Every structure is written in structure tokens, then in C-alpha cells.
């Protein structure tokens, strides 16, 4: 297995973190942790790790615009405060969560549901988990003294303060292990349902995909009816073994006044294949940050994403690909469609370490602006420290092409249908990388839902 302790190092330290005066609201965050402490699973080593993680968070505070990686998504200004921890879901919340979880269920998938940050076995298909796959809740793992040694790995952090806050506060999540050589037939779907209002949730999951194992993970974020103004902070730590193959599809749709901050830290072994796809289609403030380190030679990564943004919503997708070893290939395709006064941020950094010769990495980011007030911030970056590599990046923003629109209209399509067709084609470029037809359809249905809601 690749070793996660070689820290995925696309992250940068903030030079300013000590200097800034913290807002009063942020100081109150300390109380949030103190208040929640009794409810957080794990004692001894786990509690120590949490306290340390919280210290890291406290020093930096909420990520803000003076931190380069958070330049366009200033949580300090946008959120201001961290809301109190959500209570355990009651029976009524579970009923509402069940409806939402069903709506986003992927065909054939084995569903694992987290409600307000707590694993809900009664809504999950635990009985359908395949042989060779072990699923436990994070709470179970952290409270089990025999597996306590895993705590460091599961609760690992980086210098990113949102991830540190997550490690400190994580109430639950899923710990999934796929045995070596095991080809998992059905997708495993983690469904996060928010049922609360004006509360925060912290989930953290861990995936260990064994050598030569194959699996598809789908992750969905959805609000239950009536949920509003919540803050969800999720993290996924994944280790992909040598010659393993993982397809990881994520679709986030938070309530239109809610916040979703999700981080993925993924280390990939040798001659492996990782197809990552992340789509954000609603949420007041959404940030997806993926840190992928290629730690074994001959690995192929595809990391695609889509932001669909309307109204005054804000969606940020930040992907850091770290080529730590030679002979790896990475392909990134990002597409944003922005309507009304929406704002989409894409940051894509490719790091090629001195040892990583014969790296082949490309990144393209394109934004489609459907209104005059829409905003796209595109920041592709290459940090190449090795010789003999092929790397490229490109970013464009623009409106729908009038010539294309006229061509379609001259063939009989209404203006709206012509626009729809072009937008679908535009998004399709990022979706077509998903190898499973079933999962491609799953994502396409979500994009159509978004498009149909267009005025």
C-alpha cells in the first residue's frame, strides 16, 4: 500500500495565519469544540489527535482570502462563524432522510447513509455488502481499542484548516476496506443527508482499496426537505493499492442556503487506475478540494469535474495532482456552467516532483457563462520540478457561441432547446470520462435536473 504519511503536499502553509486578528465569531469556535467534545467518538490517542487537529485549526482559523489556496472562497467572509454541532438525528429526521436518500440512489448501488453526520444503518444496505468488502462506521473504528492504531491514518490532516477542523470534529463516517484482488461488482454509494437547520456536521470516511482490487464509489450530498442553513464538512481519505482500479464519482447538491466543504486526500499506488469525477450542482457555498498523490509508477489518473452554478451560489473545485514518481499519466477536464449571478472557481495545480520524470499531465478548464453577471475564476498552475516531462494546461471562459446557436435554430430547434443541447454537450466532455455507463447516466440525470430547472 502507498503510505499516506508521506504527506500529500500540494497544500501550502499560510504565511499570514498568525497575523490576522480573528473575528469574535471565530473565537466562539473553541466553544463549539469544547461543547461537542463529549459526543466525539474515541478516547486516548484519538482524543489527542483531535485536540492537536483543533489546535492547527485554531491557529489558522477559517480559511480566508489571504491563504493562496482559498483566495476565491473566503470562508471567513462568506460564513463568518462555525455553527454548533448537529444533534443526533431523531426518528422524524430519519424518515425525512430516507426519502432524500432514495431520490439520489444510484442504480444497483449498495447504499450507506449518513444522516446529519451519523451513520444510519437502518437506511443502509449493510446486508448487501459484497464478500471481500468490509464496511464499518468511523465511530466503531475509533472506539475499538484493537483498531485504535488506525486512528492516525483515518484522522490524518494537512495544513489545510478545513481538513483539520474536520479531523477534530468528525462524528462519524464510513471505513471501507476492499480486500486484495477483489473486484466489487456493485457501486458502493455513500449518501450524506442533511436534515437540520443552522447546525454543522462533520463526516470523515476512509477507503482502503487493496492490491489489484476494483471498485466504484459514489458519494452524494443531499438535503432532506426542510433542511436549511447548515454547514457540512466532509473528508475522504483513500488509499488505492498497486494495480487497483477505482472509479470515484461525487455529486454534491447542498440546500441553496447551505455550505458544503469536502476534501479528499487520495494516495494511489503503482500501475493503478483512478477515475475521479466531482460535480457540484447547488449550495450557497460549496468547496470541493481533492489532493491526489501518485505514489507508484505507471499509474493513470483521470480527474474530471463540473460546477453547475446559478442564482447567487458559489462553487469552488480545487484539485491538486502530485506526481511524486516517474511514468504516471494524469488527465484533468473541468467544465463550469454559470447562470444568473453565480460564481464558479476552479483551481487546478499539477506538481511534478524532481524524481517524476516521464510524467504526462494535462489539464483543461472551460467555463460557460450564461449571463452577464456570472463569474468564473480559473487558476490552472503547473509546478514542474523534473526534466523530461510533458505537461500542459489551458483555461477558457466564454458565452454560448452565437454561430452554433444559429446553426441549431436554423435546423428547427428553439432557442432554449438549442442552448440546452450545447450546454449538455459542453458538460458531456467532462462526463464522458466516466467508464461505467450506469454511473455516467447517474450523473447525466443530475445535470438534466439542473438544466430543466433553468428559467
Partner 1 sequence: MALLEIRDLHVGVENRGIIRGVHLNVNAGELHAIMGPNGSGKSTLSHVIAGKPGYEITGGQVLFRGENLLRMEPNERAAKGVFLAFQYPVDIPGVTTTNFLRAALNAQRKARGQQEFSTPEFLKRVREVAGSLNIPQDMLKRGVNVGFSGGEKKRNEILQMALFEPSLCLLDEIDSGLDIDALRTVASGINALRSPERAMIVITHYRRLLDHIVPDIVHVMSRGRIRKSGGKELALELEACGYAQFEDAA
Binding site residues, partner 1, CB under 8 A: 401-404, 406-415, 417-418, 421-422, 424-426, 428-429, 432
Query: Using CA atoms in the order 187, 361, 380, 351, what is the torsion angle rounded to 10 degrees?
Result: 100
Nearer to partner 1, 7 or 409 (CB): 409
Please report how many Cα atoms fall inside a 13 Å half-sphere around the Cα of residue 360, on the Cβ side. Answer: 10
Nearer to partner 1, 297 or 429 (CB): 429
Are β-strands 214-223 and 231-240 bridged in parallel, bridged antiparallel, or unpaired?
Answer: unpaired
Smallest gap from residue 450 Cβ to partner 1 (A): 17
Smallest gap from residue 422 Cβ to partner 1 (A): 7
Smallest gap from residue 345 Cβ to partner 1 (A): 23
C-alpha separations of 233 from 280, 331, 413 in Å? 14, 27, 43
Smallest gap from residue 70 Cβ to partner 1 (A): 32
Smallest gap from residue 97 Cβ to partner 1 (A): 36
Q: What is the DSSP letter of 84?
A: P
Smallest gap from residue 46 Cβ to partner 1 (A): 48
Smallest gap from residue 198 Cβ to partner 1 (A): 41
Nearer to partner 1, 311 or 401 (CB): 401
How many angstroms separate the CA atoms of 451 and 455, rounded? 9
Sole residue written with cell 500542459: 392
Q: Taking the alpha carbons of 347, 353, 354, 355 in that order, is the dihedral positive or negative?
A: negative
Which one, of 112, 84, 77, 114, lies nearest residue 97 by Cα? Answer: 114
Nearer to partner 1, 67 or 418 (CB): 418
Query: Using CA atoms in the order 431, 440, 101, 250, what is the torsion angle rounded to 10 degrees?
Result: -40
Smallest gap from residue 212 Cβ to partner 1 (A): 34
How many angstroms separate the CA atoms of 28 and 432, rounded? 45
Nearer to partner 1, 298 or 428 (CB): 428
List, edge to edge, every strand of the sheet that includes 360-369: 118-119, 110-115, 188-194, 214-223, 245-253, 273-282, 300-309, 329-338, 360-369, 390-398
C-alpha separations of 116 from 50, 161, 284, 399, 423 in Å? 20, 21, 18, 39, 34
The alpha carbon of residue 277 and the mean position of all alpha carbons in its chain are separated, in whole angstroms, by 9
Nearer to partner 1, 372 or 387 (CB): 372
204 forms beta bridges with: 235
Nearer to partner 1, 13 or 415 (CB): 415
Smallest gap from residue 425 Cβ to partner 1 (A): 3
* 119-151: burial string, b at 16+ Cβ within 10 Å, e else: bbeebbbeeebeebbebbbbbebbeeeeebebb
Nearer to partner 1, 31 or 432 (CB): 432
Which one, of 169, 221, 220, 225, lies nearest residue 197 by Cα? Answer: 225
Nearer to partner 1, 58 or 366 (CB): 366
Amino acid at each position: 500500500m502507498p503510505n499516506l504519511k508521506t504527506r500529500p503536499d500540494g497544500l501550502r502553509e499560510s504565511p499570514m495565519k498568525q497575523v490576522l486578528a480573528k473575528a469574535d465569531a471565530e473565537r466562539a469556535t473553541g466553544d463549539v469544540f469544547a461543547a461537542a467534545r463529549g459526543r466525539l467518538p474515541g478516547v486516548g490517542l484519538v482524543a489527542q489527535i483531535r485536540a492537536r487537529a483543533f489546535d492547527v485549526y485554531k491557529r489558522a482559523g477559517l480559511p480566508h482570502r489571504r491563504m493562496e489556496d482559498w483566495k476565491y472562497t473566503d470562508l471567513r467572509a462568506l460564513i463568518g462563524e462555525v455553527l454548533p454541532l448537529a444533534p443526533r438525528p431523531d426518528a422524524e429526521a430519519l424518515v425525512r432522510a430516507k426519502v432524500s436518500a432514495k431520490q439520489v440512489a444510484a442504480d444497483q448501488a449498495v447504499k450507506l447513509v449518513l444522516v446529519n453526520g451519523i451513520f444510519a444503518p437502518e437506511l443502509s444496505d449493510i446486508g448487501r455488502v459484497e464478500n471481500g468488502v468490509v464496511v464499518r462506521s468511523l465511530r466503531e473504528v475509533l472506539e475499538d481499542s484493537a483498531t485504535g492504531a488506525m486512528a492516525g491514518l483515518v484522522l490524518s490532516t494537512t495544513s489545510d484548516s478545513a481538513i483539520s477542523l474536520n479531523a477534530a470534529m468528525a462524528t462519524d463516517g464510513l471505513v471501507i476496506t476492499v480486500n486484495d484482488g477483489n473486484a466489487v461488482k456493485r457501486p458502493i454509494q455513500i449518501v450524506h443527508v442533511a436534515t437540520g437547520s443552522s447546525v454543522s456536521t462533520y463526516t470523515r470516511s476512509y477507503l482502503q482499496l487493496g492490491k489489484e482490487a476494483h471498485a466504484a464509489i459514489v458519494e452524494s450530498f443531499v438535503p432532506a426537505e426542510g433542511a436549511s442553513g447548515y454547514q457540512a464538512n466532509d473528508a475522504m481519505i483513500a488509499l488505492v493499492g498497486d494495480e487497483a482500479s477505482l472509479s470515484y464519482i461525487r455529486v454534491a447538491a447542498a440546500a441553496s442556503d447551505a455550505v458544503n466543504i469536502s476534501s479528499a486526500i487520495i494516495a494511489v499506488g503503482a500501475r493503478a487506475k483512478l477515475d475521479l469525477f466531482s460535480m457540484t450542482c447547488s449550495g450557497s457555498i460549496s468547496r470541493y478540494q481533492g489532493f491526489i498523490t501518485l505514489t507508484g509508477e505507471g499509474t493513470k489518473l483521470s480527474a474530471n469535474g463540473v460546477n453547475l452554478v446559478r442564482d447567487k451560489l458559489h462553487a469552488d473545485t480545487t484539485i491538486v495532482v502530485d506526481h511524486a514518481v516517474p511514468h504516471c499519466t494524469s488527465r484533468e477536464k473541468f467544465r463550469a456552467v454559470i447562470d444568473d449571478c453565480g460564481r464558479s472557481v476552479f483551481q487546478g495545480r499539477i506538481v511534478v516532483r524532481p524524481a517524476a520524470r516521464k510524467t504526462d499531465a494535462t489539464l483543461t478548464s472551460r467555463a460557460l457563462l450564461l449571463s452577464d453577471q456570472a463569474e468564473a475564476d480559473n487558476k490552472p498552475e503547473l509546478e514542474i520540478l523534473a526534466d523530461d516531462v510533458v505537461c500542459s494546461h489551458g483555461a477558457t471562459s466564454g458565452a454560448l457561441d452565437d454561430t452554433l446557436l444559429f446553426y441549431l435554430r436554423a435546423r428547427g430547434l428553439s432557442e432554449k432547446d438549442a442552448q440546452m443541447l450545447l450546454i449538455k454537450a459542453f458538460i458531456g466532455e467532462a462526463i464522458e470520462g466516466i467508464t461505467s455507463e450506469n454511473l455516467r447516466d447517474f450523473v447525466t440525470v443530475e445535470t438534466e435536473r439542473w438544466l430543466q430547472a433553468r428559467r
